[in-house]
Amino acid sequence: MVLRARTQIDALEGTDGLERIRWRQLDTGESQTRSIRHLFLMTGADPNTAWLKGCLALDDKNFVKTGTDLLPRDMGGPEMAPQAPQRSERPGTAGSLL
């Protein structure tokens, strides 16, 4: 995965689904097109996770804690420490919640 800061998507292209993405770097104006079939966008940083309080460990900004951000007190003890970077303390929940 590559994070492209200050980059604007100019086109999503494909016939039956996403096949290519064209983007432009805002500082240089350089445009690139790449064969890509999946796209993840994170717009803003204001998680809507208040409903998860008491169910999952949240950080001070209300993002779900995962991987190395989880502390033993979040897990119920050190023997339950997560092995995967995006794993939360609850089985079946991982990654970003939108």
Whether 88 contacts 82, CB under 8 Å: yes
pLDDT at 5: 86
83 pLDDT above the threshold of 70: no
Query: Where along the chain do its domains lie?
Result: 1-43, 50-80
The model's pTM is: 0.45
Model confidence over 9-67: pLDDT tens digits? 999 999 999 999 999 999 999 999 999 999 877 677 788 888 888 888 889 988 888 88
More confident residue, 79 or 14: 14
Write out the DSSP string of 30-50: -EEEEE-S-------S----G
Q: Using CA atoms, how far apart are residues 42 and 36, in angstroms rounded to an integer?
A: 17
